[in-house]
A = this chain, B = another copy of it.
């Protein structure tokens, strides 16, 4: 008999994660039970433990997956001028996060519900992402294109400003995402130059 593509676990794993993501974002990690996640997936509560050892692992998997996708997709071409690298970063950050409102909400809100070990891993990935932007800023300062007194602070300020788009942007609203990206790039460009 031909083996079908994807085992039962391959198919159910993503469904379990998608259900957990929806429920955590809507009601909060602490208020969601494994039973509720099983019901959302359409399996028995006991069957859920074939796919994940516990709720903490589900939360960690979601947050780690979000951060590793982010790091994998971040544009990174050190041969481009720092100004272009910064523009690429700004456009990427806004688009990546606008596409994933639930993941972004959970990444901020549920940090407090991670175990200390899991928190340390997520925090490390977050710093790795921040370091990408900080490196662009430092390169631009060294090459004389940027006027930035404290690249670390400017990194955190830019990331907060860009992620803030998620609190108000809705597809089909007054501005297209292209227009939003253009407006934010204008602010970031001016903020880092003289």
Residues of A within 8 A of B (CB): 26-31, 108-109, 112, 149-150, 153-154, 156-161, 163-165, 167-168, 175, 180, 183-184, 186-188, 190-191, 193
> Which residues from B are CB-within-8-Å of A150?
175, 183
Minimal beta-carbon separation of A38 from chain B (angstroms): 19
Taken together as a complex, chains A and B put the C-alpha atoms of A190 and B188 apart, in Å, by 9
Residues in B whose Cβ lies below 8 Å from that of A153? 175, 180, 183-184
A184: chain B residues at CB < 8 Å are 153, 157
Closest 7 CB pairs of A and B: A160-B164, A30-B31, A161-B161, A187-B191, A191-B191, A28-B28, A28-B30
Contact residue among B26, B109, B157 (Cβ-Cβ distance under 8 Å from A161): B157
Q: Which of B112, B154, B156 interacts with A26 by CB under 8 Å?
A: B112
Chain B nearest Cβ from A129, distance in angstroms: 14
**Cα A158 to Cα B108 with chains together (Å):** 19
A90 CB → nearest B CB, Å: 11
